[in-house]
Amino acid sequence: MRLPEFITFTGIDENTDPISLLKINADYPNLAEFGVLFSPKLQGIGNRYPELEIIEEIVAPLSETLSFSAHLCGEYATRVLSNETPNLPFELFERVQINTRNTFDAQKLLNFSKIIDNKPVIIQCRDEQTFPDNLSSNKLLWLYDKSGGRGTRITAWPSVYKDNVMVGFAGGITPENVSEILNEIDCPIPYWIDMETGIRTNDWFDIFKVREVLTVVYGLPKKVGK
């Protein structure tokens, strides 16, 4: 079974300890990406959408050491799909994900990628059981995500892939079922998985669950000199 190239842990919040993120990266170098949720309607409301100032306080000092992705929801996603660029600190992030059920113009997303220094743009595939065949650039990536952050366990995964384009998978993945789901996905090309609800406790980002997932997927961290 091919393992994911890395795992995205989405929804860091105001209680997330930056030192814990650094320790995760030290034990599992380049295997964890940390996702940050953005929504103009929800920012500062609920745990998953911390105030923009808090996001910058956590991400800015670590952005050259850790991998972060920006996940745009609601009006932010709509603006990008309308060929607009939200005023967000994209320079702190390596990838940007557009969370939407709406149709989109691939060329507009490619234009957006150019505006944000050619960073990869991720678009959700929610309604198909195969990856659509209209993303041919490594700057536009599909994430199969029928759950949409609700933690719904997905049991039927796409099995047709396009060569040389990395794909992602999300949907009800937890520390308890991640090994089973990787066997179900059985992806033959480079891929990543994304987790949100499954690595939260009382709706707070849980660094212990993050570490548990990494241990299940990649094994115990290798110690220096061992």
Nearest Cα neighbor of 173 from 161, 184, 189, 158 is 184
pLDDT at 130 over 60: no
Taken in order of first residue, the domains within the chain and their CATH numbers are 6-218 (3.20.20.70)
Q: Dump the DSSP string for 73-96.
A: -HHHHHHHHTT---SS-GGG-SEE
SS3 state of residue 37: strand
In the structure, what pLDDT confidence band is assigned to residue 108 with cuts at 50, 70 and 90?
confident
In the structure, what pLDDT confidence band is assigned to residue 134 with cuts at 50, 70 and 90?
low
pLDDT confidence of residue 35? 98
pLDDT confidence of residue 178? 97
- Burial classification of residue 204, based on how many CB atoms lie within 10 Å of its CB (0-12 exposed, 13-18 middle, 19 or more buried): middle
CA distances from 37 to 5, 46, 112, 155, 168 (A): 22, 11, 18, 25, 17
pLDDT at 179 over 50: yes
Average pLDDT over residues 46-72: 95
pLDDT at 149 over 90: no
SS3 state of residue 216: helix
pLDDT confidence of residue 226? 44
SS3 state of residue 4: coil
pLDDT confidence of residue 133? 61
pLDDT confidence of residue 164? 67
Q: 143 near 123, Cβ under 8 Å?
A: yes
Between 224 and 109, residue with greater pLDDT: 109
Average pLDDT over residues 52-79: 96
pLDDT at 225 over 50: no
SS3 state of residue 205: strand
Q: 131 near 142, Cβ under 8 Å?
A: yes
